[in-house]
Structure 1
Amino acid sequence: MKKTLLIILLISFQSFSQGKFLTKTGILNFEASVPSFEEVAATNNSVTAILNTENGEFAALALVKGFRFQNALMEEHFNENYAETSKFPKATFKGNLVDFSLSEIETETQIKIEGELSFHGETKKIENISATIQKKGSTITLKGNFKVLASDFNIKIPKVVKNKLSNEVLVSFDLKLIQN
C-alpha cells in the first residue's frame, strides 16, 4: 500500500528531471499536551516526501499507524478512537514552497510553505508554515512546524479527557531529501 501511495505522489508531479528530491525516512511529530498532565506526543520516522526544485511543488505522506507514543495505551486510543486509522490510514500534504528558488538556499534560509493537509477524512488549507531549508550537496534539509486544531479535522475529544488533551496540535517536521 505504501508503494502505491508513493507512486500516486510521484505522478502528481509533472516534471521529474534533476529537480526531484525524495525521502522515505522523514520525521513528523505532533504534540497536543496540556500543562500539568501527561505528555500527549508522538513521532513518525517513516514519512515519505518529495520536492520538485524546478517549481517548488512539495508533497508528503504519513501512514497514521506509524506514529509512536511513549505510552502504548495512548497509542492504542489514538489509533482506535481519535485518528480511526482503520478508516483513515494516511495523512497527506500537497503544496508549494512560496517564492522558492533552488539557487538561493546554499545556506540555511527561512521559507514559507502553503498547501492542503488531509487527515481523518478532512482536508484543510494550511498557509504560512514557517520552515528552514538548506541544500548541501545532493541533500536538501527542510524543517518547520505549524499548528492545527483537532476539531478542524473532525476529531472529537470526549468530555472526560477534554482538560488533559489540547485541541491545538503542534506539528513539526524534519526531512532530509536526497536528489534522485
Structure 2
Amino acid sequence: MKKIILISVLLLANLTFAQEKMICKTATVVFEASVPSFEEVKAANNTVTLVLNPKTGEIASLALMKGFRFKVALMEEHFNENYIESDRYPKAIFRGNIENFDLQNLTSIPKDYRVSGKLELHGKTQAIQAVLKISQSNSGIKIVSNFSVKASDFAIDIPAIVKNKVSNAVHIQLNGILK
C-alpha cells in the first residue's frame, strides 16, 4: 500500500512539474535576406520548438537548420551546404527571458514584451533583444516577433559572387502558439 501511495505522489508531482512549462512544436520561423531587384532569398521552418516557463518568463527556441524550405531547391542546397553548414551546425538555439511577463495579464489583444537572450547559430553566440507580441487565444498563448540579425555576426560568409544578391541583414519572423 505504501508503494502505491508513493508512486501516486511521485506521478502527481511529476505531472505538476511538467505543467509548469508551456510548449509549441509547430512554431514557424521565416527568414529573409533578399535584396531588391534580385531573386527572393526567403525560407520557412514550420517545425520549430518553443518552450515558455510562465512563472519565470524564461523562453527557449530550437530550430533545425535542415527544416528550412525555400521556393528554389538549389537555394536550399546552397543554404545547407555553403552558408549555414547544416551537417556541422544542425540547429539554432535561443535562450532568453521575457521582461515583466505575467501570464495573468494576457488578453486577446497582443501586448509588447521585451525579450533578451542569446542566439546560438553557426557555432557563434550573440546577444539578442527583440519585442514579442504576446496574447491569449482560444488555443493557447500566441507569440509573434519580428527582428533582424546580421549573417556576419554568426560568421556566415556571403561569397563575393553573390554579395549583391544576398543581404547581410537577415529579417526573422516568429509565430507560435504555446499550450
Give the TM-score normalised by the residue count of structure 1. Answer: 0.87
Which is greater in Rg? 2
Instruction: In structure 1, list runs of 5 or more residues that go unmatched.
Output: 1-14
Shift of residue 101, structure 1, vs aligned partner: 0.9
- Supply the distance in 1 between the matched residues of 2:30 and 2:46 (Cα, whole angstroms): 9
Shift of residue 136, structure 1, vs aligned partner: 2.8
What letter matches 1:26 in structure 2? A
What letter matches 1:24 in structure 2? K
- Residue matched to 1:126: 128
Deviation string, structure 1 residues 37-63 (Cα, Å, up to 9, x no partner): 000000000001100000100000000
> Structure 1 or 2: larger helix share?
2
- Residue matched to 2:115: 113
Tell me, what secondary structure is at the counterpart of 1:151?
helix
- Supply the distance in 2 between the matched residues of 1:137 and 1:54 (Cα, whole angstroms): 20
What letter matches 1:41 in structure 2? K
Aligned residues: 163
- Residue matched to 1:11: none
Runs of 4+ that moved beyond 6 A: none
- The 5 A counterparts of 1:62-101 are 62-101=63-102
Give the TM-score normalised by the residue count of structure 2. Answer: 0.88
Tell me, yes or no, if the aligned pair for 1:146 and 1:170 is still in contact at 8 Å. Answer: yes
- The 5 A counterparts of 1:1-40 are 16=17, 18-40=19-41
Percent identity for Structure 1 against Structure 2:
50
Tell me, what secondary structure is at the counterpart of 2:165?
coil
Tell me, yes or no, if the aligned pair for 1:56 and 1:96 is still in contact at 8 Å. Answer: yes
- Residue matched to 1:150: 151
- Gap change, CA 1:84 and 1:111, over 3 Å in 2: same
Q: CA RMSD in A?
A: 1.3
- Gap change, CA 1:16 and 1:117, over 3 Å in 2: farther
What letter matches 1:144 in structure 2? S
